[in-house]
Structure 1
Amino acid sequence: ANVVLLFGSILALIAFAICSFLIAHGGPKHLVWMPPLITSDILSGQELNTNEPVVDAVIDNIKRHYVDREAAGRIAAALETHKQAGDYGAIQDGAALAQLLTEQIRAVSGDAHLVIVYEKEILRTSTGPTPEMLAAYRNAMRESNCTFEKAAVLPHNIGYIKLNSFPDLSVCESTAKAAMESVNRAGNIIFDLRDNRGGYPEMVAFIGSYLFDHPEYWFNPRENTTRLSWTRSPVSGSLLPEKRVFVLTSSRTWSGAEQFAFNLKMLKRATLIGETTRGGAHAGVFHRLDDHFGMGIPEARAINPYSDHDWEGVGVEPDVKVKAEDALKVAIDLASRR
């Protein structure tokens, strides 16, 4: 059994492998925003001989890899204090230890991308996705229409796209193109990201490309690199650069979806309607701690040239604050006005 849930679907089969492989082999270009990862209840029951090596490995990896250096020190100190107090000695269940460590590091950092996982079976040493994992991902995307829940033109000639993740561009490019082309002649566009928990930054930039008539600076994935990310604008035949754009958000909107909303807001290209988003800005990598424990650690933050901050821990503020369930109605009303 696998221990990760990504986008709440069968992507649990490949989340860790895909995240680690893409970053290891693609560098900044392939950073993946990881939605919250949770351990599975079916993994409990295996006794542990000692917990200290696991705790020490968590502390070491936090110190070496966590993007927020100041918070890394605080997390390490907190875990060391718990260890010295003997707080882990009585725990005999792997899943319970993983859950406790996750709660403790999040309590200090406030970062939901940080997670410890426990697997009853021995974890793979290779970070690369297997052919079976990739096949499972493709099947999941095919069955879910690449998480494009709806792409339609509403009354008053309003284009509406409800997208529940930003899937892998190499798998879902044709689906994304079809969705964007279906609203190309609409008067205004609404992107519904209220249930979107992030995904692949390449898809974030790809969809954003349709909204500009020139290549637009999007983000710099790592602070210590000169590699930049740009939209692919202009997109041949796209009429959307001249259209008004509305983005619907909720407190569930997370990670890559927040990047999409944040960039469009900073570029003054969209009006955000709904609730403040969840607040996950950091890109993560999976690290194997031992045969049964691993952890997801954010190692990079997205940088936008139009702001001196990101949305980590605070979320993206909407321009028009309303309850999430009312956001579509409000957006339709605004889009209908000349």
Structure 2
Amino acid sequence: MPPSRRSRLPRTRLLAAALPLLLPAAPALHAQAPAPTPLTAAARRQALDSAAVLLSARYLDPAAGRRLADSLRAWARRDAFATVADPARLADTLGRALRTVVADKHLYLRHVPNVEYVGGAGAGRIVDARVAPAGGAGPVMVRRSGRVDPRDSATIARTNFGFAKVERLEGNVGYVKLDLLVPPDYARATADAALAFLRHTEAVILDVRDVPGGAPQMMQYLLSHFVTGPATLLHASFARADNVADSLWSVPALAERGLGGKPLYILTSARSASAAEMLAYVGQRSRVATVVGETTSGAGNGGRPHTIGAGLQLFVPERQILTGPGWEQTGVVPDVAVPAADALTRALALARQRVAPGTSAVR
């Protein structure tokens, strides 16, 4: 079975069986931009109308999408945001207003004036091209709408592609602290180096307590190092607007690099969101990992950003999870519940006790 696949399936059958997927939760990332031009009433109306069309057509729940669209059109008719001329402030204000209509943590806007998202499937594929817009306003970065991180590749590289720390701790336990789940298209070499360093450890701890989200493909890549046996379905979702189901499978060759079958612990906090929650959810559900820490944020509905004008990007939750109930609003409940600050200590104790049963666990 291939590591990932996409298929067109009957819409009615899938909608009846479906539930929430994902990408990153509400804005933790900000692209640098020049001082914004104040919005006109016409620009606000166009942005709200564009958002209404997108949400009506693409939001994962058709009825909820219609409610959102109706609200947007009503706000546009009466220029409800007339006092909000700053586009960054409008993004925040409008996002909050939308979430009063439908409580969805992936339903948000941000102001990214130098990035244009274009349609197309292929979430996680990085396709960048600089173009000069009409009027000579300077280059704009055009990205497929599967790309959710507005930063350029050089900026992402300076974060070490989300790998903040890799250590071999006492008791021969490996530790990886992540800041973001960056797509393997960018981060594969760094991920490979980190995991190779831990190849001879007895157990591994992945720390996503401060991860706001990222790429599902990095979840697939990381967990594949620990899943033994034939290719296993890790996660599946359905996009009703495209009538497409996507699946992520384990990659058996990655488990042959030395970590397959070793004890894995995933640290979580209430700040862990979106793809970080997916990592914990899939690891727990597949019994590949033990989740230690706090219940996660509850941002489970996956989607992608769309340009709606005025430099505004609307993240539309488009995907329903097919593998289990998901974690939208509920979060991922840890196997071992402890305050986030104590999660590493507890996971270390559990790991040491598991690999050396005579060792007393730290409480």
Same fold, TM-score > 0.5, yes or no: yes
1:300 matches 2:319: yes
**Secondary structure class of the residue paired with 1:235:** helix
Does structure 1 conserve the Cα–Cα contact (< 8 Å) formed by 2:22 and 2:317?
Answer: no
Native 8 Å contact 2:224 2:255 kept in 1:
no
Contact 1:213 1:235 (C-alpha < 8 Å) held by counterparts = no
Question: Higher strand proportion, which one?
Answer: 2
Question: Contact 2:23–2:303 at 8 Å: present in 1 too?
Answer: yes
Which of 279, 301, 321 pairs up with 1:260? 279
**What residue in structure 2 maps to residue 274 of structure 1?**
293
> 1:48 and 2:43 equivalent?
no
Partner of 2:318, secondary structure, is strand
Give 1:316's aligned residue.
332
Letter in 1 for 2:334: P
CA distance in structure 1 between the partners assigned to 2:210 and 2:274 by the alignment: 12
Instruction: Read off the aligned partner of 1:35 and give its amino acid letter.
Output: A
- Cα distance in 2, alignment partners of residues 114 and 264 from structure 1: 25
The structure showing larger relative contact order (alpha-carbon pairs under 8 Å, at least 6 residues apart) is: 2
Q: Take 2:255 and 2:83, find their aligned partners in 1: how far apart are those partners?
A: 63
For 2:159, the equivalent position in structure 1 comes to: 144
Question: What is aligned with 1:76?
Answer: 69
Q: Tell me what 2:100 maps to.
A: 107
Displacement of 1:107: 2.2
User: Aligned partners of 1:241 and 1:57: how far apart in 2?
Assistant: 47
Distance 1:187 1:102, change over 3 A: same
Q: Kindly tell me: are residues 111 and 43 of structure 1, through their superposed partners in 2, closer, same or farther at Cα, counting changes over 3 Å?
A: farther
- The alignment covers a number of residue pairs equal to 307
1:175 equivalent in alignment to 2:174: no
Corresponding position of 2:26: 36
SS in 1 for 2:167: strand
Cα distance in 1 for partners of 2:186, 2:320 equals 25
Structure 1 residue 94 corresponds to structure 2 residue 93 = no
Answer yes or no: is the 8 Å Cα contact 1:28–1:222 preserved in 2.
no
- Please give the per-residue CA displacement for 1:205-236, whole angstroms capped at 9, x wherever unaligned: 11111111122211123254455321102436
Structure 1 residue 138 displacement after superposition? 3.4
Which stretch shows the higher mean deviation, 80-89 or 106-115?
80-89
Q: In the alignment, what sits opposite 2:343?
A: 327
Correspondence for 1:203: 218
Q: Distance in 2 between matches of 1:34 and 1:79?
A: 23
How much has 1:35 moved relative to structure 2? 3.4
**Aligned partners of 2:264 and 2:118: how far apart in 1?**
43
The AA in structure 2 aligned to 1:329 is T
Distance 2:129 2:79 in 1: 39
Distance in 1 (alpha carbons) for counterparts of 2:85 and 2:160 = 43
What amino acid does structure 2 have at the position aligned with 1:171?
Answer: Y
Counterpart for residue 290 of structure 1: 309
In the alignment, is the contact (CA less than 8 A) between 1:44 and 1:94 conserved in 2?
Answer: yes
- Structure 2 CA distance, aligned partners of 1:118 and 1:190? 36
Structure 2 runs not aligned, ≥5 long: 8-20, 120-126, 131-138, 144-150, 358-363
Alignment of 1:50-69 (within 5 A): 50=42, 51-69=44-62
| Residues 304-331 of structure 1: per-residue CA shift (max 9 Å, x gap) | 2xx2x11112211111111111100111
Deviation at 1:86, TM superposition (A): 5.4
> Alpha-carbon deviation of 1:76?
2.9
Percent identity between matched residues is: 26
2:257 matches 1:241 = no
1:46–1:138 CA distance, 2 compared to 1 (3 A): closer
Q: What is the TM-score when the length of structure 1 is the normalising length?
A: 0.79
Contact between 2:109 and 2:313, CA under 8 Å: does it hold in 1? yes
The worse-fitting range, judged by mean Cα deviation, of 281-290 and 36-45 is 36-45
CA RMSD of aligned residues (A): 3.0
Counterpart for residue 190 of structure 1: 205
Larger helix share, 1 or 2: 1
Cα distance in 1 for partners of 2:311, 2:155 equals 26
